[in-house]
Structure 1
Amino acid sequence: MTILRFCVLGDSLAAGVGSTRVEDTLGQRLARRLRAEGHEVRLRGYGVPGARSADLDRQTGAAVGDGVDLALIVIGANDLAGFVSPAVGARQLHDAVARLVRAGARVLVVPAPDLGIVSRVPAPYRNLVSAASGQYASAQADAAIRAGGAVATASAQLAARFAADATLFSADRFHPSSAGYAVIADALAPHLVAVAADPAA
């Protein structure tokens, strides 16, 4: 059986910050789901806490150099926190996706989360932050599709789950807990499995 080289790129969510065990991280959980679907998987993680879309160039270079068949990109929260414009971040994401596609990889992008649900955001600003998050995520989705990638579409449902359940956040009240990563992985798995199985990719 051919080994599926699965790479996870992006920020602290890609790196698993907040999880209490390596087995609970997003990459590990999704790799197990891919194996359950019959794939033999080699997982490699390139995510870096604090990464912005500008950092994807280095990460994609490393992934392409090592070999990649399936890539998951989780990026955007730090761009939002750093006031990176949607146009700039989307262009950087587009270039990363296009580079991976040219290398023969199938790519799934997880757009920026809704930061308006984070408790450290003052209540009067939450609607504004949510709107900015949505605008950024929309620009990312458009860019990813234009570059030949696919986009996970569960962001609204995930935001609602996290807003309603504080246990899905880790102790820092910003990153997911192990339980939170389980919820995210469950939402992303159908999208990733579909992308992995796409014979046209």
Structure 2
Amino acid sequence: MRLCLLGDSIAAGVGSTRREDTLGPLLATRLRQAGHPVDLTVHAVPGARSADLRAQVRRAVAGSVDVAVVVIGANDLTRFVPAHVGAQQLHDAVADLREAKAAVVVATAPDLSVVAHVPPALRDVVSAVSRDYAEAQQRAVIKAGGVVAHVERAVTSLFAADPSLFATDRFHPSAAGYRAIAEALAPAVEAAAGLHA
């Protein structure tokens, strides 16, 4: 099974000191434990926005992909990309992956209000903007034939309560943070893998 990770620094594993504690290897291990032989490729690029997915999708399709996991949205939010623009770019990426017969699982934009750098007075606003962006992404993913894994629902409260889930830069996940995200992603990824068994 050809598993590809696409997207931004979270999909790439920035913040963890060991590769095996990043999303790709963690998800690949889960799939192997479920009986799937897995070939993992990570096309994600730190700093990527939804506009950058097109090039990543081209590389994934050229190398062949059965299950694609896309993590995108944080950099769109920090760069003030309008929700309808980023959502359309994500839609197109998912549609291209689906046309290549890949199952696609997307983790939408995180709730950036839990990041320590956000002033307390702005957290409600940042949370609302993050939620609106993720909802636009969700509609786009479903329209394109992908599946949304509601990672933010599962991990936002965990990250808000436990600083150890953040790396030393206080923005990216630590190894423990990646394990929490992988745990939230795993059911949707395992279901997608089952379609290709």
Do these two structures clear the TM 0.5 threshold for a shared fold by scoring above it?
yes
CA distance in 1, matches of 2:152, 2:3: 22
Matched, 1:151 2:148: yes
1:1-201 matches, within 5 Å, as 4-198=1-195
1:59 corresponds to which letter in structure 2? Q
CA distance in 2, matches of 1:136, 1:198: 29
TM value normalised by structure 1 = 0.96
- Residues 93-132 of structure 1: per-residue CA shift (max 9 Å, x gap): 0000000000010000000000011010111101000000
2:48–2:75 contact (8 Å) kept in structure 1: yes
CA distance in 1: counterparts of 2:21 and 2:178, whole angstroms: 7
- The list of structure 1 runs, each at least 4 consecutive aligned residues, that deviate by more than 6 angstroms after superposition, is none
Q: Percent identical across equivalent pairs?
A: 58
1:154 to partner: Cα distance: 3.1
Task: Determine if contact 2:87/2:140 at 8 Å carries over to the other structure.
Answer: yes
Shift, 1:139, TM fit: 0.5
Which deviations, in whole Å up to 9, do the C-alpha atoms of 1:42-66 show, x marking residues without a partner? 0000111100000000000000001
**TM-score normalised according to structure 2 size:** 0.98
Superposed CA RMSD: 1.0
Unpaired runs of at least 5, structure 2: none
- Name structure 1 gaps, 5 residues minimum: none
Q: Secondary structure at the match of 2:38?
A: strand
What does the per-residue CA deviation read over 1:16-40, in whole Å, with 9 as the maximum and x for residues that have no partner? Answer: 0000101001000000000011110
Cα distance between partner residues in 2 of 1:157 and 1:8: 20
Query: 1-side partners of 2:170 and 2:181: how far apart?
Result: 16
Residue-by-residue CA offset, 1:119-160 (whole Å, 9 max, x unaligned): 101111010000000000000011001000000023122000
Which residue identity is paired with 2:45? V
Report the secondary structure of 2:137's partner residue.
helix
Give, as a single letter, the amino acid of the residue that structure 2 aligns with 1:5.
R
